[in-house]
Structure 1
Amino acid sequence: MKPLLSDITVNGKKIPAELIASEAQNHPAPKSKPGMAWMAAARALAIRTLVLQEANRLGFEPDPQQVAEGKVETDEEALVRQVLDVALDPPAPSPQSLRAAYDAAPDRWRAPTLYEAAHILFPVKPGDVVALAKARAAASAVLTQLQRDPRAFGGLAREHSACSSRDNGGRLGQLISGDTVPEFEAVLDALDEGSLAPEPVATRYGLHIMRLDARAQGAVLPFEAVAPRIAEMLEKAAWVKAGRDFVARLARDAEVSGITLVAAA
């Protein structure tokens, strides 16, 4: 069996294991599977090497451009961009493809959902296990009181909540999709109107006792209103596919050892 941390070569160009290990820090992976980060880093460096070799074959000279205020491309970044500018030219989506994408999933193209909700926040800093345990005990005790007497929500929010909404009895006013963190919004979508979440809800801010007062799901938007967004989505997908196809063509013609870039036919 090959050792995981080994050099790879691309058309005779060696990519040292040390460089791959350094690049792996930029590729998240589960703690139990560090090899996934290493493999992702190895693939990324191998692909970058293939593209730079293609730039050399085409005789390109780097032409760095400013990409943000005070930030200019490196020579290698410029060469990669120049190659991709020449190699990738996916067709624009047709009117028929836009309509087909809309008709395939019209529910995807809705106006934002409106919510009226209230919460009681028990703050916890990420990673603070001791504070989380204390907050969970406190939140569970308050939730038990509310399950016995839901009308006590406002008073308990004023007494316990760390959010400024406590001054309004925990009421958050009208929210729309995207106003809150995903885990909070997921509970708003799952609750029945007028009900409490059965357990404290964990987010990056801490634990929340949540109540949904009202929800109005956004209507499906007409095709004409969302056609530009669908076009943008399809254009991005076409660029991604064109990039993958281009890399696959380079890899098929390359001599690569230490990693597999092309799946077996």
Structure 2
Amino acid sequence: MNKALFPDVVVNGETISSAAIAAEAQNHTAPRGKPGMAWRKAAQALTIRALLLQEAKRRGLAPDPVELAPGRFETEDEALIRALLDEALSIAPITEEAILAEWAKDPERFRSAPLWDVSHILCACDPRNEKERAVAETRAKAILGRLDGDAKGFAEAASESDCGSKTSGGYLGQLGPGDTVPEFEATLRTLPDAGMTQTPVLSRHGWHIIRLNATALGQVLPYDIVRPKIVQALEKAAWARASREFIENLAQGAQIRGASLEPI
């Protein structure tokens, strides 16, 4: 490893090794061909972690890990950082004026879930089986190549589907968020009404040709219904700002070499 390109980081005399940064870099995204960006993000994350742990220890805080999920507990470092932020940060109560102002920016943002009127053709396969996947993809592409794009042609082609919906022209009815597999739903969100996928979409069930017949947008929700969500979002944003300011203050009084806390 080139030490000049990927140096150790030192925070107030504490060394964070290049190996630790390389391991952390796997958790950060970067544009293709720019691995250095993931490295810088990882170095920054570990620098912030070191600053917080050092401050927690300076204050004499003791870790008290809590259960995050059945059988899964915080690490001692995670517990220390949580204890530090609980002690060091405070935010002002969110006012009714601020909540109303956030809602008034665009009430249209707050809607009930949409409904998609959907048809599909399935060429089933086990996507983990390379040969089976390739055969099913070839079949799906052949069906797609014969489609005219209209609803009648789609319904006729659906007789070749491996889904029980083939008896109703591939019609799945109205689906909402979470009603289908993630790959299928992600595609629905990109299609216009009466639009159809230009290439087959792979899911755990096989290859899909998807037609979005129509979309029913959710209804705009009244203020009283969305108010708790707005409060939660404003509190989260306030905590994020307070955390950034706290970390910036720690960094100003620290000696850091090999990493920057400037936005990446």
The TM-score with structure 2 as length reference comes to 0.84
Q: Counterpart of 2:198?
A: 199
Cα displacement (A) at 1:137: 4.5
Matching of residues 56-67 of structure 1 within 5 Å: 56-67=57-68
Q: Indicate the SS of the match to 1:179.
A: coil
Residue of structure 1 in register with 2:169 after alignment: 169
1:87 corresponding residue in structure 2:
88
**Which AA in structure 1 matches 2:36?**
G
Structure 2 counterpart of 1:15: 16
User: Partners of 2:245 and 2:36 in 1: how far apart?
Assistant: 25
Query: What's the counterpart of residue 46 of structure 1?
Result: 47
Give 3-state SS (helix, strand or coil) of 1:26's partner.
coil
* Residue equivalent to 2:78: 77
In structure 2, distance between residues paired with 1:86 and 1:28: 32
Instruction: List per-residue Cα deviations over 1:6-36 (Å, max 9, x = no partner).
Output: 1111011111111111222222334422222
1:250, distance to aligned residue in structure 2 (A):
0.6
The 1:258–1:127 alpha-carbon spacing in structure 2 relative to 1, beyond 3 Å, is farther
Q: Which residues of structure 2 form unaligned runs of 5+?
A: none
Supply the distance in 1 between the matched residues of 2:106 and 2:259 (Cα, whole angstroms).
39
Residue 33 of structure 1 is matched in structure 2 by 34
Q: Residue 244 of structure 1: CA displacement?
A: 1.3
CA RMSD of superposed structures (Å): 2.8
Measure how far apart 1:196 and its partner are. Answer: 4.2
Change (3 A) 1:218 1:150: closer
Alignment correspondent of 2:188: 185
Contact 2:8–2:15 (Cα < 8 Å) also in 1: yes
The residue type paired with residue 260 of structure 1 is S
The aligned residue for residue 108 of structure 2 is 107
When residues 40 and 124 of structure 1 are mapped into structure 2, their CA distance, relative to the original with a 3 A threshold, is farther
What are the Cα deviations for residues 15-70 of structure 1, in whole angstroms up to 9, with x where unaligned? 11111112222223344222222112111111111011101211112223333222
In structure 2, what is the equivalent of residue 259 of structure 1? Answer: 259
Cα deviations by residue, 1:171-202 (Å, 9 ceiling, x for unpaired): 111112443434322234x22xxx34161353
Q: Distance in 2 between matches of 1:148 and 1:56?
A: 65
Q: Deviations over 1:142-183 (max 9, x none)?
A: 234331874243342231x24343344311111124434343
Change in Cα spacing, 1:55 to 1:145, as seen in structure 2 (3 Å) is same
**1: CA distance, partners of 2:7 / 2:57:** 26
Asked if structure 1 preserves the Cα contact closer than 8 Å seen for 2:25 and 2:39, the reply is yes
* TM-score normalised by structure 1 residue count: 0.84
How far apart, in 2, do the equivalents of 1:201 and 1:100 lie?
44
Amino acid of the structure 2 residue aligned with 1:28? T
Residues 64 and 209 (structure 1 numbering): CA distance in 2 closer, same or farther, change over 3 Å?
Answer: closer
Number of corresponding residues: 258
Structure 1 residue matching 2:113: 3-state secondary structure: coil
Q: Which stretch of structure 1 is more off in the superposition, 68-77 or 110-119? A: 68-77
> Structure 1 65/176 Cα, relative in aligned 2: closer, same or farther at 3 Å?
closer
By how many angstroms is 1:127 displaced?
8.7
* 1:146 corresponds to: 147
Label 1:229 to 1:166 Cα distance change in 2 as closer, same or farther (>3 A): same
How far is the alpha carbon of 1:90 from its aligned partner?
A: 1.8
